A = this chain, B = another copy of it.
């Protein structure tokens, strides 16, 4: 299944029109977003100031799948850009009355939405929507099925760059469910585009990708070997669904084999940073000592998520404006 048709998200000038996936994007697309995100952060205070950039623009957050965390960061980013924000829980909407998804979309579009931020439990949902909206409407993928979660990956890249400068020189290890996680898919694509020196994935066979070479990653089943000498450790949430589906034995056994503990952390470089997209399962994939420890940048990731989402939104509208000239 090839969900991503990279070109659908680029405009005639090759700039981002939608933001659906990292697949097919170039180094410059990513660094532009990271650079714009940096401008939102006050160098003196670390705060993110409110700007007027999107005054009069209407952004609709279409969450077909609930996610307080992602919705809230988008909502804050949108309001900090001074957009008008409407949250729509689509489960309770007209689709109940027998209206098709496309009719719902076209109606929302006719309500003069300038952008849809879409969260859906089916892979390809954001692409489907992007394919069917009017040319002046933009779509951001806020997570679709097991496919992609590109803004999460971008905030991860921003966090790495903040601590490590050039991603080009880094060895990065991702621990956990590599096979089913949309976050990891997007992270690997981002790291590849930004030419990380080495990308390692660590976990049990049942959670490893079937095509590591195509992805450009090295598979490790032993966590200590996998962490050896890395600069960045990305820990991924273990979905309960996987446990239930018998792909995994138990939380306790997973922690014994792959939980990130203080002892295991020592195998990485002394200045390695620990990341996690959240929400964390303490005592399952990560030990509290590590999650709350000095090398953890987990909460910084959340803050940078605001700046990065502001950057993605603003870049898309700026690109559309540039096209008109």
Binding site for B on A (CB under 8 A): 47-50, 55-56, 58, 60, 66, 68-69, 72-73, 75-76, 79-80, 84, 86, 88, 92-94, 97-100, 103-104, 106-112, 240, 278-282, 299-303, 305-306
Q: Contact at B58–A49, with CB atoms within 8 Å?
A: no
Residue among A66, A94, A108, A110 with max Cβ neighbours from chain B (10 Å): A110
Q: Which 7 A-B pairs have the closest CB atoms?
A: A110-B302, A50-B56, A99-B279, A68-B93, A110-B299, A79-B84, A94-B279
Sample 5 A-B pairs with CB under 8 A, ordered by A number. A56-B80, A98-B279, A111-B303, A111-B305, A111-B306
With a cutoff of 8 Å between Cβ atoms, the chain B residues found around residue A56 in the complex are 49-50, 80
* A53 CB, nearest partner CB in chain B, Å: 13
Q: Contact at B69–A93, with CB atoms within 8 Å?
A: yes
With a cutoff of 8 Å between Cβ atoms, the chain B residues found around residue A49 in the complex are 56
Known pairs A50-B84, A279-B97, A279-B103; A73 contacts B299 (CB<8 A): no
In the bound complex, what is the Cα–Cα distance between A20 and B41 (angstroms)?
Answer: 31
* A17 CB, nearest partner CB in chain B, Å: 18
Q: What is the total number of copies of this protein in its complex?
A: 3
In the bound complex, what is the Cα–Cα distance between A84 and B47 (angstroms)?
Answer: 15
With a cutoff of 8 Å between Cβ atoms, the chain B residues found around residue A99 in the complex are 278-281
* A149 CB, nearest partner CB in chain B, Å: 15
Among the listed B68, B73, B79, which residue makes an inter-chain contact with A92, where contact means beta carbons less than 8 Å apart?
B68
With a cutoff of 8 Å between Cβ atoms, the chain B residues found around residue A50 in the complex are 55-56, 84
Q: Contact at A110–B300, with CB atoms within 8 Å?
A: yes
Q: Contact at B88–A68, with CB atoms within 8 Å?
A: yes
Query: What residue of chain B has the Cβ atom nearest to residue A100's Cβ?
Result: B282
Known pairs A72-B108, A299-B110; A84 contacts B80 (CB<8 A): yes
In the bound complex, what is the Cα–Cα distance between A109 and B56 (angstroms)?
Answer: 28
With a cutoff of 8 Å between Cβ atoms, the chain B residues found around residue A280 in the complex are 99, 103
Query: What residue of chain B has the Cβ atom nearest to residue A281's Cβ?
Result: B98
With a cutoff of 8 Å between Cβ atoms, the chain B residues found around residue A110 in the complex are 299-303
Among the listed B75, B88, B93, B111, which residue makes an inter-chain contact with A73, where contact means beta carbons less than 8 Å apart?
B111
In the bound complex, what is the Cα–Cα distance between A179 and B80 (angstroms)?
Answer: 44
* A20 CB, nearest partner CB in chain B, Å: 24
Q: Contact at A66–B79, with CB atoms within 8 Å?
A: no
Among the listed B48, B58, B94, B300, which residue makes an inter-chain contact with A68, where contact means beta carbons less than 8 Å apart?
B94
Among the listed B76, B103, B108, which residue makes an inter-chain contact with A86, where contact means beta carbons less than 8 Å apart?
B76
Known pairs A49-B56, A94-B279; A303 contacts B108 (CB<8 A): no
Known pairs A68-B92, A94-B69; A111 contacts B279 (CB<8 A): no
In the bound complex, what is the Cα–Cα distance between A226 and B98 (angstroms)?
Answer: 27
Among the listed B100, B282, B299, which residue makes an inter-chain contact with A107, where contact means beta carbons less than 8 Å apart?
B299
